[in-house]
Amino acid sequence: MGYRVAVAGATGNVGRQLLAVLAERNFPADEIIPLASRASAGKEVSFGDDITLRCTISPNSTSPASIWACSPPGSAVSKVHAPRAAAQGCVVIDNTSQFRMDEDVPLVVPEVNGETIAGYDARNIIANPNCSTIQMVMALKPLHDHARIKRIVVSTYQSTSGAGKQAMDELFDHTRAIYMNAREEPRAFAKTIAFNVVPQIGAFDTDGSTGEEAKMVRETQRILDPEILVSATCVRVPTFIGHAEAVNVEFHDPIDEEEARELLSAAPGVEVIDRPFDGGYATPVDCVGEDATFVSRIRRDPTVANGLCLWIVSDNLRKGAALNAVQIAEDLIANHLVPA
């Protein structure tokens, strides 16, 4: 017997990718239950070669599921429905920020801290980290284990897909409008995204940081080490898929670029593309549709005693969201759950 898997937010960017990854990896599901809002009820979604119908999110629609992969547009939906599903016996893998800092909810990147999945049974909920956090800790975990990270300074270059389908549509529409000598007012972003970069992702806090920056700080500390100092500047850029990060890392112990390349090359889920010639590095275009986190431009930072600079890119819809959730589910069924 297999599992019944509900996918909440099946109409969204991550929801569609969740369905694709489940099919690609032959997840042992007897039934896939795609869920969406009432406005999207009855629409068709693809799962492998099959077409299935969506239903609305409700307590009744979650009850048959063994695993509930939740990726709705915002944490408010998860706040209401994830505990309901968990109370009915589903294990919820939530892709929103709602539960990430709850101490009794594991915040998991399987290659980094997969052992924490065992704590899911406190509330039957597991949190998927933020997309930009996932790719950064994937690259930093082996380096931290070797030389202990003291401080991280990261600047992100995040694609519009991280803000949803409407944001991607806005990039397309505004780019076309510029070529037609027309003007469109921004809707999904605070300023025009076409031919621009916007240094705001999320609302501003009283200290001047944005919500995305706060997520990266807190989640990195929770996943890797609470003693690590983290400074983040998160920027939305006019690309469709794939996040990039320029990361400066200061370590407690000595480490050089060759050691870093060896450690990263051996790390699960990480691929090093670091050749010192034109084009010898990974870009967001290269990572689209790929499962790996790519690390390039590995070099020493001469301004501190033990410092490195890295360039990290990953498909934010796959490893940054859907793939990470499916890997959590695979670990659950391998080590913790029995078929429904």
Is 146 considered catalytic here? no
Q: To the nearest 10°, the Cα dihedral for 84, 85, 91, 93?
A: -90
Is 131 considered catalytic here? yes
Catalytic entry in 55, 131, 234, 287: 131
48 with 74: CB under 8 angstroms?
Answer: no
Which position has the token pair 């300023």? 191
- Whole-angstrom distance, CA of residue 187 vs CA of residue 184: 9
* Sequence-distant (≥ 6) Cβ neighbours of residue 140 within 8 angstroms: 149, 152, 220, 224, 247, 249
Q: Is 113 exposed, middle or buried (0-12, 13-18, 19+ CB in 10 A)?
A: middle
Strand, coil or helix: 93: strand
- Phi/psi at 44 (5° precision): -95, 140
Alpha helices in the chain (DSSP H): 13-24, 59-62, 75-87, 110-113, 131-147, 165-179, 211-223, 257-265, 284-287, 323-335
Task: Give the residue among 328, 334, 318 at the shortest CA–CA distance from 18.
Answer: 318
Catalytic entry in 144, 234, 243, 287: 243
Q: Three-state SS string across 202-247, please?
A: CCECCCCCEHHHHHHHHHHHHHCCCCCEEEEEEEECCCCCCEEEEE
Residue 132: C-alpha distances to residues 29, 152, 207, 340 (Å): 29, 14, 21, 34
- Whole-angstrom distance, CA of residue 3 vs CA of residue 31: 7
Residues with active-site annotation: 131, 243
